[in-house]
């Protein structure tokens, strides 16, 4: 049976449906599995429960990707969401480099995977969710980079170039985050802190013993990744709701 013009005019459009999704209640519960597993993982590291710490580490990024997919429903920012998921995918590969590619040197592969993740974050922050010009204090990351090369570089030896390149994209992620929302910026700073601690753990264990640094590295990493994801989704939702 054909619908009348009045019926068609009052029927909700696809855009109206999307608008209701964007303005509606955000399913923040979707982050709960990631938060719970993050806590379990960090506690397992503190108690040195390797049988728990290993599997939970590999669950972190898939659970965060699940939260992104759930909270990003209805958004039209396909490119931005794709970049965020790519960053999480390569972060996951970096988390499990020793498991996924055991036939290759773990540390170089970890640097490569996380390097790609940071490149995805840089494009995401630069092209899709920036809300202001660069802050002058983004220049502080130049000082951080120089200090890291001075303190870590000599100990990196044959990996110096790889470490220097990774440090560059890590610093650029934090610098571009100064153009974004406070949540994204804080997330990037936690990520920066995590990798800084990890660098000292790997190359300067005399300064940062593994027993102390492992829980700190992963706690700051989980907080950083979680805040980056939530901050990106929040910015995209606000922008789309503002244009409808």
**Which pair of structure tokens corresponds to residue 102?**
């055991």
CB 214 within 8 A of CB 45: yes
Per-residue pLDDT of the chain (244 residues; tens, 9 = 90+): 444 444 444 444 444 444 444 455 778 899 999 999 999 999 999 999 999 999 999 999 999 999 999 999 999 989 999 999 999 999 999 999 999 999 999 999 999 999 999 999 999 999 999 999 887 888 999 999 999 999 998 999 999 999 999 999 999 999 999 999 999 999 999 999 999 999 999 998 887 776 778 999 999 999 999 999 999 999 999 988 877 6
Query: What's residue 28's pLDDT?
Result: 82
Query: What's residue 77's pLDDT?
Result: 87
7-25: string of b/e by CB count within 10 Å (b at 16+)? eeeeeeeeeeebbebbeee
Query: What's residue 244's pLDDT?
Result: 62
User: Could you report the per-residue pLDDT of 82-114, keeping only the tens digit for each?
Assistant: 999 999 999 999 999 999 999 999 999 999 999
**Which pair of structure tokens corresponds to residue 76?**
């039209």
User: Could you report the per-residue pLDDT of 202-222, keeping only the tens digit for each?
Assistant: 998 887 776 778 999 999 999
């Amino acid at each position: 049976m054909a619908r009348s013009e009045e019926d068609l005019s009052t029927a909700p459009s696809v855009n109206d449906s999307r608008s209701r999704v964007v303005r509606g209640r955000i399913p923040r519960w979707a982050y709960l599995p990631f938060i719970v597993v993050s806590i379990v993982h960090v506690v397992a590291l503190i108690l040195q429960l390797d049988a728990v710490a290993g599997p939970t580490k590999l669950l972190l990024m898939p659970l965060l990707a699940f939260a992104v997919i759930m909270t990003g429903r209805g958004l039209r920012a396909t490119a931005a969401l794709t970049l965020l998921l790519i960053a999480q995918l390569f972060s996951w590969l970096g988390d499990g480099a020793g498991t996924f590619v055991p036939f290759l040197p773990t540390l170089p592969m970890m640097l490569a995977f996380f390097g790609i993740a940071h490149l995805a974050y840089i494009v995401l922050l630069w092209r899709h969710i920036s809300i202001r010009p660069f802050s002058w204090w983004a220049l502080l990351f130049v000082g951080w980079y120089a200090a890291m090369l001075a303190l870590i570089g000599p100990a990196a030896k044959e990996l110096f170039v790889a470490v220097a390149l990774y440090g560059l994209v890590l610093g650029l992620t934090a610098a571009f985050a100064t153009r974004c929302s406070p949540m994204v910026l804080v997330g990037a700073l936690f990520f920066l802190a995590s990798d800084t601690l990890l660098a000292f753990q790997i190359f300067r264990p005399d300064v940062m013993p593994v027993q102390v640094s492992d829980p700190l590295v992963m706690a700051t990493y989980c907080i950083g990744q979680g805040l980056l994801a939530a901050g990106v989704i929040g910015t995209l939702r606000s922008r789309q709701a503002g244009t409808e």
